[in-house]
């Protein structure tokens, strides 16, 4: 899977695949994760897509390659930029995230799981909830990304500290829960 993504998405330098519970729940439901608020919009431009199931032939031939192919197909068919939406959930499987390096990929996984949790809770509180207005999504995404970005911290030591803290607080407990 990872090899296919590296070949198709040349700006990607790190990929993470987990079975984090909230992202997996959305994957098992076969639903995109809608952008209900600004936390989501700060990191992902629009909904986080759910890729289709693999066909029997794809499962039989080369499962890992097929998973990568289905992810790539999802981004091509929907006209999505993998740098603007650095995540996908695979139907009945789980999430993949990526970034310019492994640190960013881990960070995106931590954010994805939190966004999935918030979206799940949001729908529980209000089953009729609608995505955040597009202009609000645009403001939050583009203030951190793009030509005129102005919001956020400089990269460097602070980023590494934040990633280590995120890994310890979010990823390690997920891994520990598997045992």
Residues belonging to the active site: 42, 151
Three-state DSSP class for residue 14: strand
CB atoms within 10 A of CB 170: 18
Q: Which two three-digit tokens encode residue 102?
A: 């492994």
> Hunting for tokens 């794809």 — which residue is that?
58
State phi, psi for 81 to the nearest 5 degrees. Answer: -95, 120
Nearest to 131 by CA among 44, 56, 8: 44
Distance of CA 163 to the CA centre of its chain: 16
């Amino acid at each position: 899977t990872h090899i296919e993504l590296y070949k198709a998405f040349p700006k990607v330098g790190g990929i993470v695949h987990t079975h984090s519970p909230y992202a997996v729940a959305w994957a098992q439901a076969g639903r995109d994760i809608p952008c209900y608020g600004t936390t989501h919009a700060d990191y992902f431009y629009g909904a986080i897509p759910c890729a289709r199931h693999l066909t029997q032939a794809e499962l039989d031939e080369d499962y890992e390659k097929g998973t990568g192919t289905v992810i790539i197909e999802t981004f091509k068919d929907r006209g999505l930029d993998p740098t603007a939406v650095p995540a996908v959930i695979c139907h009945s499987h789980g999430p993949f995230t990526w970034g310019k390096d492994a640190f960013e990929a881990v960070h995106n996984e931590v954010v994805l799981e939190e966004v999935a949790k918030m979206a799940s809770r949001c729908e529980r509180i209000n089953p009729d909830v609608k995505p955040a207005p597009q202009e609000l999504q645009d403001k939050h995404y583009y203030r951190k990304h793009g030509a005129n970005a102005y919001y956020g911290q400089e990269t460097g030591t602070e980023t590494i500290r934040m990633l280590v803290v995120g890994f310890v607080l979010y990823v390690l407990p997920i891994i520990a829960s598997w045992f």
